[in-house]
Amino acid sequence: MRNRKGQMAKSEIRTILLCYHFGSFRNFKHYYLFFIKEHLASYFPKAVSYTRFVELMPRVFFELMAFMRIQGFGKCTGISFVDSTIIPVCHNMRRNFNKVFDGLAKNGKGTMGWCHGFKLHLLCNEMGDVLTFCLTPANVDDRNPRVWQGFTKGLYGKVFADKGYIKQEFFENFFNQGIHLVHGLKSNMKNKLMPLWDKMMLRKRYIIECINELLKNKANLVHSRHRSVHNFLMNLCAALAAYCFFENKPEALPVRIEKSRQLELF
């Protein structure tokens, strides 16, 4: 019987994908075969084979994206932190022989050096909630206008960034939209007065650094065992969705800023 209805419900597929990022498993195949189909067989009586489950995973992509947008992600409070992290897909010695991401992954340089893969741009608030994200090749600049087209929707107040976001036109464009971009100064730049509160909040950028660390180490976002682009995207979405349920989210000072467009007057 062709085009028959699948045995596993989409809710079961989403649950299996999310639970994987809470445990200590580092291999999804081992997790599915020896944990789901053996220890949790009573909870998933209609669990299909591993090969079939890999084929079914892309069916819940839009449900995961809708969950993150509607229920999982936080809201802008006037204090936001932005950063990007590199997601390598293979070892540097194998970047010329990688066929899975041929034409998609690019060579980029991060804080840990050069790698071959993608770049995840994250925007979060002071409570550790992810506001939005964007996935680009590793050679895309952090100040790319196409990246910030989605970031600026519903964004207001102050955005704290690192020195990689320094650009005069970039700052002025945000300031005209009522968004104040705050970043540190490079060694060759003229020293400028900065409010003490901004200096204190710049030190709170560890929040988004901790989010990247949780996604990579606890949620197993980075590994070199991807065999298709679909599986890579599903692993990324499932890791971000699982982070929404984490209890150890980093937080900063409980400060709020009133939503206004007063900056446009200057």
pLDDT at 259: 54
Count Cβ neighbours within 10 Å for each residue of 196-218 and write b for 16 or more, e otherwise: eeeeebbebbebbebbbebbbeb
- Gap between the Cα atoms of 31 and 24, Å rounded: 9
Average pLDDT over residues 203-209: 88
Written as six digits, the tokens of 213 are 């660390």
pLDDT at 260: 55
For tokens 């010695």, name the residue.
Answer: 93
Helices (H) and strands (E) in the chain, counts: 9, 6
pLDDT at 32: 94
Average pLDDT over residues 156-172: 86
Query: What pairs with residue 200 in β-bridges?
Result: none
All domains of the chain in start order, with CATH: 10-66 (no CATH), 75-223 (3.30.420)
Q: Tell me: pLDDT of 252 over 80.
A: no
pLDDT at 266: 46
pLDDT at 199: 83
Written as six digits, the tokens of 93 are 């010695």
Mean pLDDT of the chain: 85
pLDDT above 70 coverage of the chain, percent:
89
pLDDT above 90 coverage of the chain, percent:
38
Neighbours of 181 (CB within 10 A): 19
Query: pTM of the predicted model, to two decimals?
Result: 0.84
User: Model confidence over 27-76: pLDDT tens digits?
Assistant: 899 999 999 999 999 999 989 999 999 999 999 999 999 999 888 898 88
